[in-house]
Amino acid sequence: MPRPAHIAPGDISLRLQVGGALTAQALATALGVNQSTISRGLARFGDSVVALGAARRARYALRRPVRTAGDRWPIYRIDATGRAREWARLHTLHGGTLIEWAGAAPPWAERMTDREGMVEGFPFFLGDLRPQGFLGRQEARRVAETLQLPADPRMWADDDTLVFLQAEGSDLPGDLVLGEAPLRRVLARQMEPVGGAVVVPETSRATRFPELAAQMSAGGLPGSSAGGEQPKFLAAIRHRGGALQPILVKFSPAMESQSGRRWADLLAAEAHALAVLAERGLATAGARVLDAGGRRFLEVARHDRVGAHGRRGVVSLEALHAALGSGGAVNDWRAAAEALARDGLIDAAGLTAVRHLHSFGELIGNSDMHFGNLAFWLDDTLPLRPTPAYDMLPMLWAPNTQGEVVARVLAPRPPLPGVLAEWREAAEWAGEFWRRVAADATVSREFRATARQSGEFVARMRAQFAP
C-alpha cells in the first residue's frame, strides 16, 4: 500500500506533543509517510517547531506555551557592579526545556543538558528561585491572586514557577533574572539611591528592627524568597560613610516566652558558629546579635549581594543534586559533595570545605543540614566553590512544632576513617564554639549548661579519635 503524499499538521503536532523531540525519520515511521512529506509538513509550522541538532540526527520539538506567559524568555545575569547582560534564552518545548546560550556554554552545561541544550524538567540554575521558606511563603501569598497561583509555593508546578519568575522575579537569590519585565524593574531600582531596598541607618537598628519584624510577622513587608523557616526579613544597612550593605535578619519570638527564649539562645549560638567558621575562612565575618523590642535579632551580610546593586550567582546543593540525578540520601552533605567531585564539578579544596562544615555541623548539633542549607558560587567556570556557610546553628535544641522546649542530648556519629583528618579539625572548632556559647552571658543559664555538657562530650570524642 503506497504511503500518503499529504499529512495534516495536526497529526505532526499530536505526535510531537506526545513523543517530545523526534527525528524526521521517527515521525515518518509513526505517521506512515516518507521523510520528504514530514519535511514539508514541518515547514508549515514555522517558528512553532524548533530544530535540535543538524543533518540526520536533527530532532524536532514543538513549542509549549506556558499559559499566557509565552514560550521563550531571556535570562539575564546581574554582575557585581549591577550591570545586566543576556546570559541565555529559555524555551519551553513539549518534552523538555531548551537552554540557548548567548555566548559559549558554561563548562558545567554538558553535565546538566544534552548536546543541544535540552533539559528534562526545570533547569537546575533556576531551581533556587522558587519561593521557599518563611519569606517565600510571604511572597507567594502576595502574588497568588494576581498571578492565579496556589498560595502555598510548595504546591507550585514548574509552570507556576515560570509564571512567577517572568512576572515578579526581580529580587531573588543569586544573580539571575528571567524575562524583560523583571529586568526593567531591576534597572529602574538602580536609578534610586538605595536600589529599592528597605534601608536601616546603622544607628537605628534598635528601633527599626522591631518595626520590620512586626511588619514581616503581619505579612506586610515584601522581600525575596530567601530559604529557611526561621522568621526573617531583608534590608540594607546604611553605614556612617553612606555605603549600603544588604543584610538578612533573623528574629526570635518574644523572649518572655519559653520558646522565644530558646530561639534567642539559638540565634546567639548561630552568631558564635559563624564567627568560628569565619576565622577559618568558611563564613562571612561580622554576624551581629541585637536585643531590642523584646526580641533577639541576628544580622548577617547577604553573600549573594554586592553593595547597593551588585549580585553574585549561587546554587544550592539541593538544585545540583537534583540535576545530577545522583540519588542517595538527601541529608548527607559529605556524600553528595563526593558525588560532585566525581563529576568534576568541585575540586579537592571544595570537598574538604564541605567535609569540614558537615563534621562541624554534626558536632554542634545542627540537625537541619538539608541540601538547601549548603550552596556554591555559580558562574561560568569550574570548579564550583562553596559559598560562605549559613544557617549553621544547633537546631537539635529548637522548640518542637508545638513550641515546646524538649531536653535533648548531643550524640553525633563517630567519624569514618576517610574523613578523620577533617573531622579532627572540625572537632577542635566545635570545642571552641561550645566554650564561647557557655561563656556568653546573653545565653540562658539552661542553654549555657547544655553548652558545657556538649563541649565535654566533644572533648571526649576528640580524645577517642586523636592521632
Burial class of residue 2 in the structure, from the number of CB atoms within 10 Å of its CB (0-12 exposed, 13-18 middle, 19+ buried): exposed
The C-alpha torsion from 323 through 325 and 329 to 332, rounded to 10°, is -50
Closest by Cα among 343, 333, 320, 313 to 176: 313
Mind spelling out the 3-state secondary structure of 377-393?
A: ECCCCCCCCECCCCCCC
Q: Is 368 a catalytic residue?
A: yes
For residue 443 the three cell numbers come to: 545565653
Distance CA 289, CA 275 (A): 12
Strands (E), 33-149: 49-52, 59-62, 72-78, 84-93, 96-101, 118-119
Q: How many CB atoms lie within 10 A of CB 452?
A: 15
- R_g of the chain, CA atoms, integer Å: 25
Q: Identify which of 387, 371, 369 has the alpha carbon closest to the alpha carbon of residue 336.
A: 371
Q: Checking DSSP bridges between strand 232-238 and strand 375-377, what pairing results, if any?
A: unpaired
Report d(CA 334, CA 144) in Å as an integer. Answer: 37
Following DSSP, what letter does each residue of 139-169 receive, concatenated?
HHHHHHHHHT--SSGGG--HHHHHHHHHHHT
Other C-beta atoms closer than 10 Å to the C-beta of 67 total 11
Count other C-beta atoms under 10 Å from residue 104's C-beta. Answer: 8
Q: Which of 128, 368, 391, 440 is catalytic?
A: 368
Cell, residue 168:
515578579
- The answer to whether the bond into 415 is cis (omega within 30° of 0) is no
Which amino acid, 334? R
- Whether residue 263 contacts residue 399, with contact meaning beta carbons closer than 8 Å, is answered with yes
Give the type of residue at 209: F
Catalytic residues: 368
